[in-house]
Every structure is written in C-alpha cells, then in structure tokens.
Amino acid sequence: MWWIVPLVILAVLVLVSVYYVNRITMLSNRIDNAWSQIDVQLKKRFDLVPNLVETVKGYMKHEKDAIKSVTEARERMMGTSDLKSRMRAEGELTRALKTILALSENYPNLKANENFRLLQEQLEGIENRVAYARQFYNDSVLGFNNMITTVPGNWFAGLTGRNRPREYFEIEESEREPVKVEF
C-alpha cells in the first residue's frame, strides 16, 4: 500500500496545477475582452468625428487649426496597429475633441444647434465609457499581473506560456493637463 501516498500527492499536484493554469488563462482572456471593450467605444467615437466636423465647420470659421487637428488625429489612428502608437493617437484625438468642445462655448449659434447638442452629449457619454473601459482593462491587468508574479501563481505561469506581465493602459502626460484655449 506504500504507493498510495505518492499517488495522492500526484493527484493533488495535478488538480492544483489545473486550477492555476485555468485561472491564469481566464485572467489573460479577461484582459483581451477588456481591450475589445475599449475598442468598441473608440470605434464609436471614431465614427462620430466626421459628423462632428461637418456640423462644426459652418459655425467655427476661425478655428481651422482646431478642426484640422481633429481630422489629422483621426487619420493617424487608421494607420496604427500596435498598442503603444494606438494609445498615443487616441490621446491626441481625445485632446483635439476636448479643444473643439471648449471652443464651442464661444459660438452661441453652434451651441443652439440641435444636431451639435446631440453630438456633444454622445461624445461625453462615450468619453465616460472609455474611461470606465480603461479602468476595467487596468483592473484586469492588475489581477493578471498579481497572479503571475506572486507565489504560487508564478510557478504555474510558465506552464501556460503567459509569464510576462501585461502592459497597463496609461494616460498620456499631455492628456492630464487641462485644455488651453485662447479666446
């Protein structure tokens, strides 16, 4: 009966590693899902931009630069593929849109435009959702990184081939500053 002890130990080991491997995989999948949540919201915002530019153009004749920077930021987004440059382009678009919305305060006619009001409301809703999606993404990354860097998760991380900590979605330095607008 001596063989029963190692057998039990082996069974426990197998069960424990199955649990951790599944858990690590699940946490990693959650990050991917979180990223796609951000993506959905960014896509919505991306689609709103041409509409906004069309509406704003007629009213804000003197703000060519601000409008141009929105269009440019949007174009730059189309060309990016990796996470880093994508984040930077998103930051630029966020900032350019904020500038436009801040400038619109100067144009009472524009602010009275029903279409613009709707767009503004939608944009604010999307910005809010982007912020929450980013929070969920970073929470997911935190959960995953904690798992694979602490005992005993780090022993099993190698088994899944996911032993590298994932990157956080950081806010660009320039995005933290308040928008400067000259009147």
**Residues making contact with another protein (CB under 8 A):** 30, 33-34, 37, 41, 121, 124-125, 128-129, 131-133, 135-136, 139-140, 142-143, 146
Which residue number, 39 or 105, has a Cβ lying nearer to another protein?
39
Computed over its alpha carbons, how large is the radius of gyration of the chain?
24
Nearest in space to 49 (alpha carbons), one of 72, 22, 80, 74: 74
Residue 65: CB minimum distance to another protein, A: 31
Which residue number, 85 or 146, has a Cβ lying nearer to another protein?
146
Residue 151: CB minimum distance to another protein, A: 12
Are residues 90 and 42 in contact, defined by beta-carbon separation less than 8 angstroms? Answer: yes
Which residue number, 59 or 144, has a Cβ lying nearer to another protein?
144
Residue 37: CB minimum distance to another protein, A: 5
Half-sphere exposure in the Cβ direction for 165 (13 Å, CA):
11
What phi and psi, each to the nearest 5 degrees, are found at residue 169? -90, 100
Residue 122: CB minimum distance to another protein, A: 10
Nearest in space to 50 (alpha carbons), one of 79, 76, 70, 78: 70
